[in-house]
Amino acid sequence: MLVVTGADGFIGRAVVPLLLRAGHDVRGLVRAMSGDTVARREYMAVGDLAQWPDAAMRGAMRDARAVVHLAGLAHRAAASPAALRAVNVDVTARLARAAAAHGVAHFIFASSVKVNGETSVPGHPFRESDAPNPLDAYGASKWAAERALGEVAESTGMRATILRLPLTYGPGAKANIAALARALRRGIPLPLAAIENRRSVLGVGNLASALLALVASEGDAQRATTYFVADANAVSTPALVEAMARAMRVRARLFALPTSALRIAGAWSGRSEIVERLLDTLEVDTAEFRARFAWSPPYSLDEGMAQAFGPAAPL
CATH of the domain at 85: 3.40.50.720
pLDDT in tens, the chain (315 residues): 899 999 988 889 888 988 988 899 999 998 877 766 655 677 888 888 888 888 888 888 888 999 999 998 886 656 788 888 999 999 999 999 999 998 999 999 999 999 999 999 999 999 999 999 998 999 999 999 999 999 999 999 999 999 999 999 988 888 788 889 999 999 999 999 999 999 999 999 999 999 999 998 887 767 899 999 999 999 999 999 999 999 999 999 998 988 888 888 788 877 778 888 888 999 999 999 999 999 999 999 999 999 888 775 554
Give residue-wise pLDDT tens across range 1-28: 899 999 988 889 888 988 988 899 999 9
User: 310 and 248 in contact (C-beta within 8 Å)?
Assistant: yes
Tell me: do 39 and 183 sit in the same domain.
Answer: no
Query: Is 126 domain-assigned?
Result: yes
Based on the fold, state whether residues 158 and 52 are members of the same structural domain: yes
Look at residue 55 in the predicted model and tell me its pLDDT. 87
Answer yes or no: do 104 and 124 share one domain.
yes
Q: Is residue 311 part of a domain?
A: no
Q: What is the pLDDT of residue 78?
A: 65
Q: Are residues 63 and 160 in the same domain?
A: yes
Cβ contact 43:37 at 8 Å: yes
Amino acid 184: pLDDT: 93
103 plus 249 within the same structural domain: no
- Domain-embedded: residue 307: no
Catalytic positions, please?
138
**pLDDT reported for residue 47:** 84
- The pTM of this model reads 0.92
Asked if residue 267 and residue 144 are part of one domain, the reply reads no
The reply to whether 147 and 186 lie within a common domain is no
Q: Assess whether 40 and 185 both reside in one domain.
A: no
Would you state the pLDDT for residue 306? 93
Is 223 within the bounds of a domain? Answer: yes
- Is residue 314 domain-resident? no
Identity of the amino acid at 285 = D
Assigned domain for 312 exists = no
**How confident is the model at residue 169, as a pLDDT?**
92
Q: Same structural domain for residues 79 and 163?
A: yes
Are 116 and 131 part of one and the same domain? yes
310 found inside a domain: no
Domain boundaries, position 245? 175-196+235-279
Q: Tell me how far apart the alpha carbons of residues 164 and 112 are, in angstroms, rounded to a whole number.
A: 4
- Domain assignment present for residue 305? The answer is no
What's the chain look like in SS3?
Answer: CEEEECCCCCCHHHHHHHHHHCCCCEEEEECCCCCCCCCCCCEEECCCHHHCCHHHHHHHCCCCCEEEECCCCCCCCCCCHHHHHHHHHHHHHHHHHHHHHCCCCEEEEEEEHHHCCCCCECCECECCCCCCCCCCHHHHHHHHHHHHHHHHHHHHCCEEEEEEECEEECCCCCHHHHHHHHHHHCCCCECCCCCCCCECEEEHHHHHHHHHHHHCCCCCCCCEEEEECCCCCCECHHHHHHHHHHHHCCCCCECCCCHHHHHHHHHHHCCHHHHHHHHCCECECCHHHHHHCCCCCCCCHHHHHHHHHCCCCCC
Look at residues 176, 179, 181 and name the one whose alpha carbon lies nearest to residue 243: 181
Query: Is there a single domain that holds both residue 160 and residue 185?
Result: no
Per-residue pLDDT, 18: 87
Q: In total, how many domains does the chain have?
A: 2
> Residues 70, 211: one domain?
yes
